[in-house]
Amino acid sequence: MNAPVPGLAPTTYIGQDTPRANARRLLAGRGQYVDDLRLPRELHAAFVRSPHAHARITRLDLSPARKSRGVFWCGTGADVARAVSPWVATLTHFKGMKSAPQYAVAVDRATWQGEAVAVIVAQTRAQAEDAAQLVEVEYEPLPAVTDMETALDAATPVIHPDLGDNLAFTRGVDTGGVADVFAAAHLVVEDTFRFGRHTGVCLEPRAITADYNPSENQLTVYLANQAPHMMRDIFAKHLDIPEANVRVIARDVGGSFGIKVHVYPDEMAIVGVAKLLGRPIRYSADRLESMSTDIHAREHRVRAKMGVDRDGRITAIEIDDLTGIGPYSVYPRTSAVEGNQVVNLTGAAYDFRHYVANLRVVFQNKTPTCQYRAVGHPIAMAVAEGLVDHAAQKLGIDPAEFRRRNLIADDNYPYTSASGMKFEALSHHACLDKLLALMDYPALRAEQKALRARGIHRGIGLAALIEVTNPSAAFYGVGGARISSQDGCTLRLEPTGWVTAQTGVTEQGQGTEAMIAQVVASAVGIPVEHVRVITGDTDTGPYGGGTWASRGAGIGGEAALLAGRELKANILALAGVILNRDAAGLDLRRAQIVDAATGEPVLPLAEAARIGQYRPDTLPREFQPQLSVTRQFGQRDWPFVFTNGIQASYVEVDPDTGFVKLLKHWMVEDCGTIINPLLVDEQLRGGIAQGIGAALWEEVLYDADGNLKNGTLADYLVPMAAEMPDMVLGHVETPTRSSELGAKGAGEAGTAGAPGAVMNAINDALLPFNARVTEMPFTPERLLRALGKIA
Amino acid sequence: MNQLINVTLKVNGTEVSRPVEPRTHLIDFLRNELALTGSHAGCEHGVCGACTVLVDGEIVRGCLTLACQLDGADVVTVEGLTESGAIADLQTAFHLRNALQCGYCTPGMLVAATAILGQQPPATREEIREHLSGNYCRCTGYEAIVDAIEETAKARAAGRALAQEGA
């Protein structure tokens, strides 16, 4: 005993697999999702929803519902509009963009199947649903605009006559002289790619409890959401309540993926009804409501061509993207971003200078679309990667070799793409090399060839990718949207020497709280177990943007790092005063104040904290310890900090049935500094699974009249355990210099690249049949049609 | 519809009696009547598995089972399995492997997994994947879940083998 304490070395949790502290309660069934909450005097809401894609409401009689058991209140669109003002979702930097005013509950006219036309409030959910069935609504069906290909035709009805046409937004890019470059090309490949409209399918449906207290004009909203401060601003504006009186709380969120970052009319209605009634109102979407009212995404048709020279170098790309977004642009991020991303990102992993892109975003009478995980990326990547494999095949060049010739060189940064995207530093070639090594690419090709000779048709598909992360205000702020691109972190030194951290970035299971704890613990010099992280409450903690565009680690993590360094400096200043030593000679390691040179502990942090909190009387009059700090960070060096990566898919196609079996999936990516490899890998795997879903199964189907045909999980297919392959992951780390931490985002790269990789793998398998598929999802029917086995 | 039926059943070892509407599903009964909110309603079609609980030792879907069918039944939820320590090893394996993200599917995954953890020889990855084919997870891509269950199944099988040697 009393053995000399060895000097403590500085420790860091950056780069360590640290399990998430908050996962324990989820594993015990003690999560606190919105629908788990019970408030005194709460009432339950249910909606009457339009069975028509487009119809005028000619009569709406609530009186039978009002007499139903347990019913407390019923309202129409006009009733709810007394509390909630309508909105128009445009961004000023999208020149010429237009949309129509949207109400929380439809007034006079429904514009998609599933739009709410009345709201019922009752003692229980079942009673509200019973009463909803009694509401008498008469509709005059109007022609539904469903096919985006004809949405702009003169003969097609205009959904919002005041707008003049069904065009929400259009944008063109032309670098000049592109036609000449195509004319001079050794080879031009052309394809038309179609992407099935799909949706996020969070396992936790959208859920809200709104509690309005008229005596204080105070609104508290418990919401499954990614951006509490954005919602607070919107509730304040559209309910005419001072923003300071609005509190948004997002506790545990059961998956979001971009679904829970938008303004939903039914959620606005719940908040409005809470204000009208002065009682807590609960609502949780059921699965059919989720399928018909959660935002959809990705209904795109892209005509694309690529010019290539004799050496297999890309000389030009041209795309024409048509996308249908439903009847309204979604508030406040707008529904033009996805198409805009397709224009920005197509081919942007490659070194070429000539580019033409045209985008048309059109209205239709289907569920509104908006930003869903990897916004636009899966489309842009699949288009470019499909063209690349097509060109490589025509030239007889191995797809990996074709990419090696065309990916932007690793020493060619900073680089500005033909579409104008600015890249700080990417590592396409390092990632390609690592991927091919992980796959043992030559051996896999040999295996493929040998099996093909035996009538087993396997395919290998590659897909390079880039991902938008750590956005500046360029995404939304410049367009007038009140969505913060900065985030903050507040740290409080507790008298025990532990630290409480509050952050504006939110937790949906990706591990935000664990990530923040690791950064804070490393920066302050304490065990990670001594950091408690609080997220998702606008009444506490600093203002910030929340979680979207893969910004949590890069923006929120940097704020935590800066705050941690500041708190450490304050602690060392306090220790210096207590010890009567120069603080510059001290350090904080593993909760001990140490001599910086030797690592010898000189004062426990808990003792310094105790003195700082309880005995400032023992400190000199002129020294005031500062034991709480806030630091904020907004990334301002680049519009976006891009990441890169590459994926590979290995599939087996049964040419008799058209079934695709996923055998294996690989991915190497570069998200800069990796804070927690365990969490990064899970982001990649989960993202890949979502991308695979888009490639093989997921599509929201409508008939020509705009009727949703697959509104249950028995009909809409999602990736399940039995179909999913094991995934092999690798990393390259190129930290961004736009922050001290160097972390970029990792949340969307998996989804960005997987559809293209799977498509290329299928087409590689189909090569001997001279068949090719470019319409997702790649159902057995579509494969058999491509194979000429069915008409 | 409004006629109530009295049911008496055991939930996590405790006897409970309630009058229930005939249409009340087990998942709503557990969540709304007993405030056992660990089990979740996901798809309401028996497809996603978020509402999976044990009834008389068998895994069932809480959204396809009516509460009024369960007079005399023995129901165990994730809360019960947690408090008894019956799946502590599985929960630790999930935690260390990060076999959950948002956690909404997790109670159903854990309960579903109990049915194959006792298998001898331990379930293979393919068998685990097949067994979980009625449990939807949007976050993880399933691999970590399969890893955690495989590891626990192997450890339990090895533990039993050791116990038998010792006997």
When pLDDT is averaged across residues A560-572 and rounded to a whole number, the result is 98
Residues of A in contact with B2 (CB under 8 A): 69
Are A675 and A512 spatial neighbours (Cβ–Cβ below 8 Å)? no
Chain A residue with minimal CA distance to B126? A722
Chain B residue with minimal CA distance to A725? B143
Place of tokens 């892209």: A302
* The predicted structure's pLDDT at residue A550: 95
Residues of A in contact with B105 (CB under 8 A): 203
The helix, strand and coil proportions of chain A, stated in percent and rounded to the nearest 5, come to 30, 25, 45
| Confidence label for A5 from pLDDT (cuts 50, 70 and 90) | low
When pLDDT is averaged across residues A165-171 and rounded to a whole number, the result is 98
Between the CA of residue B74 and those of B23, B24, B59, B67, what are the distances in Å?
20, 18, 12, 12
Nearest CA distance, B113 vs chain A (angstrom): 13
As given in the structure block, the two tokens for residue A764 are 């590689």
Nearest CA distance, B85 vs chain A (angstrom): 10
Of B21, B40, B140, the CB nearest to A685: B140
Residues of B in contact with A30 (CB under 8 A): 38, 79
Top residue of A18, A26, A535 to mutate, by most chain B CBs within 10 Å, is A26
b or e along A326-342 (b: 16 or more beta carbons within 10 Å of the residue's beta carbon)? bbbbbbbbbbbbbbbbb
pLDDT of A6 strictly over 70:
no
Are A333 and A371 spatial neighbours (Cβ–Cβ below 8 Å)? yes
As given in the structure block, the two tokens for residue B31 are 């969540």
Question: Would an 8 Å CB–CB cutoff place A31 in contact with chain B?
Answer: yes
Cβ–Cβ below 8 Å for B104 and A203: yes
pLDDT of B165 strictly over 90:
no
When pLDDT is averaged across residues A747-760 and rounded to a whole number, the result is 98
Between the CA of residue A713 and those of A27, A404, B141, what are the distances in Å?
24, 41, 17
Range list of H helices, A295-440: 337-345, 377-395, 399-406, 428-439
| Confidence label for B162 from pLDDT (cuts 50, 70 and 90) | confident
Question: Would an 8 Å CB–CB cutoff place A661 in contact with chain B?
Answer: no
Chain A residue with minimal CA distance to B101? A509
Residues of B in contact with A257 (CB under 8 A): 138
d(CA B151, CA B148): 5
Provide, rounded to the nearest whole percent, the portion of chain A with pLDDT above 70: 99
Cβ–Cβ below 8 Å for B98 and A686: no
Nearest CA distance, B12 vs chain A (angstrom): 13
Strands (E), chain B: 5-11, 14-20, 52-55, 58-61, 74-76
List pLDDT tens digits, range A707-729.
999 999 999 999 999 999 999 99
In what helix (H) or strand (E) does residue A318 lie, and over which residues does it extend? strand A314-324
d(CA B33, CA B54): 18
Q: Do β-strands A628-634 and A486-493 pair in parallel, antiparallel, or remain unpaired?
A: antiparallel
Are A402 and A392 spatial neighbours (Cβ–Cβ below 8 Å)? yes
* The predicted structure's pLDDT at residue A406: 98
CATH number of B87-166: 1.10.150.120
Determine if the peptide bond prior to A777 is cis (ω within 30°). yes
DSSP designation for B70: G
List pLDDT tens digits, range A412-445.
999 999 999 999 999 999 999 999 999 999 999 9
DSSP designation for A610: H
Between the CA of residue A501 and those of A526, A654, B21, what are the distances in Å?
13, 54, 46
Structure ipTM? 0.97
Are A138 and A123 spatial neighbours (Cβ–Cβ below 8 Å)? no
Of B48, B103, B142, the CB nearest to A23: B103
List pLDDT tens digits, range B74-121.
999 999 999 999 999 999 999 999 999 999 999 999 999 999 998 889
List pLDDT tens digits, range A687-708.
999 999 999 999 999 999 999 9
DSSP designation for A724: P
d(CA A489, CA A560): 5
Q: Alpha carbon A661 to chain centroid distance?
A: 27
Residues of B in contact with A690 (CB under 8 A): 138
Top residue of B98, B116, B135 to mutate, by most chain A CBs within 10 Å, is B98
3-state secondary structure string, A554-598?
Answer: HHHHHHHHHHHHHHHHHHHHHHHHHHCCCHHHEEEECCEEEECCC
When pLDDT is averaged across residues A349-363 and rounded to a whole number, the result is 98
pLDDT of A2 strictly over 50:
no
Chain A residue with minimal CA distance to B86? A28
* The predicted structure's pLDDT at residue B161: 78
| Confidence label for A1 from pLDDT (cuts 50, 70 and 90) | very low
Nearest CA distance, A249 vs chain B (angstrom): 16
Residues of A in contact with B136 (CB under 8 A): 203, 713, 718, 720
State the Cα torsion B82-B86-B92-B95 to the nearest 10°. -50
Contacts of A562 (CB under 8 A, 6+ apart): A489, A631, A633, A740
Which residues of A, range 509-528, sit inside 8 Å of B by Cβ?
Answer: 509-511
Question: Would an 8 Å CB–CB cutoff place A24 in contact with chain B?
Answer: yes
Q: What is the mean pLDDT of chain B?
A: 95
Are A357 and A318 spatial neighbours (Cβ–Cβ below 8 Å)? yes
pLDDT of A563 strictly over 50:
yes
Of B107, B128, B141, the CB nearest to A29: B107
Chain B residue with minimal CA distance to A200? B138
List pLDDT tens digits, range A445-471.
999 999 999 999 999 999 999 999 999
* The predicted structure's pLDDT at residue A401: 98
Are A684 and A692 spatial neighbours (Cβ–Cβ below 8 Å)? no
Q: What is the mean pLDDT of chain A?
A: 97
When pLDDT is averaged across residues A193-221 and rounded to a whole number, the result is 98
Which residues of A, range 240-279, sit inside 8 Å of B by Cβ?
Answer: 252-257
pLDDT of A392 strictly over 60:
yes
Question: Would an 8 Å CB–CB cutoff place A649 in contact with chain B?
Answer: no
Residues of A in contact with B95 (CB under 8 A): 19-20, 23-24, 27
CATH number of B5-81: 3.10.20.30
| Confidence label for A770 from pLDDT (cuts 50, 70 and 90) | very high
Nearest CA distance, A649 vs chain B (angstrom): 15
What residues are paired with A172 via a beta bridge? A358
What residues are paired with A219 via a beta bridge? A212, A246
Nearest CA distance, A385 vs chain B (angstrom): 23
3-state secondary structure string, A478-541?
Answer: HHCCCCCCEEEEEEEECCCCCEEEEECCCCCCCCHHHHHHHHHHHHHCCCHHHEEEECCECCCC
pLDDT of B2 strictly over 80:
no
Question: Would an 8 Å CB–CB cutoff place A714 in contact with chain B?
Answer: yes
Between the CA of residue A167 and those of A17, A329, A356, what are the distances in Å?
48, 11, 20
Cβ–Cβ below 8 Å for B104 and A511: no
Residues of B in contact with A682 (CB under 8 A): 98, 101, 139-141, 144
Nearest CA distance, A155 vs chain B (angstrom): 40
Cβ–Cβ below 8 Å for B104 and A254: yes
| Confidence label for A353 from pLDDT (cuts 50, 70 and 90) | very high
Cβ–Cβ below 8 Å for B132 and A287: no
Higher pLDDT, B21 or B2: B21
Question: Would an 8 Å CB–CB cutoff place A35 in contact with chain B?
Answer: yes
List pLDDT tens digits, range A586-619.
999 999 999 999 999 999 999 999 999 999 999 9
| Confidence label for A12 from pLDDT (cuts 50, 70 and 90) | very high
Top residue of A226, A259, A373, A720 to mutate, by most chain B CBs within 10 Å, is A720
List pLDDT tens digits, range A97-110.
999 999 999 999 99
Chain A residue with minimal CA distance to B146? A721
List pLDDT tens digits, range A295-352.
999 999 999 999 999 999 999 999 999 999 999 999 999 999 999 999 999 999 999 9
Question: Would an 8 Å CB–CB cutoff place A36 in contact with chain B?
Answer: yes
pLDDT of A53 strictly over 50:
yes
pLDDT of B1 strictly over 60:
no
Residues of B in contact with A23 (CB under 8 A): 94-95, 98, 100, 103
Of A69, A509, A719, the CB nearest to B101: A509
pLDDT of A7 strictly over 90:
no
B36, amino acid identity = L
Nearest CA distance, A719 vs chain B (angstrom): 8
pLDDT of A4 strictly over 60:
no
A420, amino acid identity = G
Are A685 and A504 spatial neighbours (Cβ–Cβ below 8 Å)? no
Domain ranges in chain B are 5-81, 87-166
d(CA B2, CA B24): 11
d(CA A94, CA A334): 10
Of B94, B130, B142, the CB nearest to A27: B94
Among A283-287, A290-294, A528-532, B162-166, the minimum mean pLDDT is found in B162-166
Nearest CA distance, B130 vs chain A (angstrom): 5
Domains of chain A: 23-30+486-634 (3.30.365.10), 397-472+637-786 (3.30.365.10)
Are A463 and A756 spatial neighbours (Cβ–Cβ below 8 Å)? yes
Determine if the peptide bond prior to B121 is cis (ω within 30°). yes
d(CA A380, CA A374): 10
Nearest CA distance, B71 vs chain A (angstrom): 22
Residues of B in contact with A678 (CB under 8 A): 98
A485, amino acid identity = S
As given in the structure block, the two tokens for residue A468 are 């938008």
Question: Would an 8 Å CB–CB cutoff place A291 in contact with chain B?
Answer: no
Which residues of A, range 736-755, sit inside 8 Å of B by Cβ?
Answer: 750
Nearest CA distance, B107 vs chain A (angstrom): 6
Residues of B in contact with A689 (CB under 8 A): 138, 140-142
